[in-house]
Structure formats: structure tokens, C-alpha cells
Amino acid sequence: MAERRVNVGWAEGLHARPASIFVRAASAAGVPVTIAKGDGDPVNAASMLAVLGLGAQGGEEVVLTSGADGADAALDRLAKLVAEGLDELPETV
């Protein structure tokens, strides 16, 4: 299982617009991905309600995981998106 631990780069955390950006990227990743806050229970990263329900604040650690083939590249892209707190989806996601 591939895993990436990253701190949330959005000052407001994974709420509203940042969560929407992340969920769209996770949905487009091509592999199933879960996200968890710290060592908490993982949720579907492609679910807006599940991601909002994490309550992840800026600077808190989240864990991205996937057991699918080819997950490493997808998790790298998602981890970069979260860590940098991008305001828009990069072209490569």
C-alpha cells in the first residue's frame, strides 16, 4: 500500500474551496485514494462530505493512501497539491 504523509498547506485547512479542489483532483487521480487526519480513520478522498468531515486544519498532518497499481504517481501529485495549498488544479492532476 502506497502512503504519503503531508501537512495541509491551505491556511483555512481542507474546507470549502480547498476541499473542492482536492476532491476534484482525487476523483481525477485514476486510482482509489483515501485520506485520514493524522492517524485517524481513512475516508474516501473523492467524497466532498467525507473530506469536509475530517476537519483538517492548516498545518495538520493528513495521510493519503492507495493500494492500487500506479498509486505512487497519483499520491505524489495529490500530496504536492495539499502541501502547497494550490488555489487551482494544476494541469497535470
Known active-site residue 15: yes
What is the full DSSP assignment across 55-79? -PPTT-EEEEEE-STTHHHHHHHHH
pLDDT in tens, 5-58: 999 999 999 999 999 999 999 999 999 999 999 889 999 999 999 999 999 999
What is the percent of the chain with per-residue pLDDT over 70, rounded to a whole number? 94
Number of residues that this document lists for the chain: 93
Q: Would you say residue 80 has pLDDT above 50?
A: yes
More confident residue, 93 or 21: 21
Q: Which of 7, 15, 43, 83 is catalytic?
A: 15
In angstroms, the Cα distances linking 17 to 10, 12, 51, 52, 86 are: 10, 10, 12, 10, 11
Q: Cβ neighbours of residue 52 under 8 Å, at least 6 residues apart?
A: 14, 15, 19
CA atoms within 13 A on the CB side of 61: 7
- For the chain, the structural domain boundaries read 2-84
Fold annotation for 2-84: Histidine-containing Protein; Chain: A; (3.30.1340)
pTM for this entry? 0.91
Which pLDDT score, from 0 to 100, does residue 91 have?
58
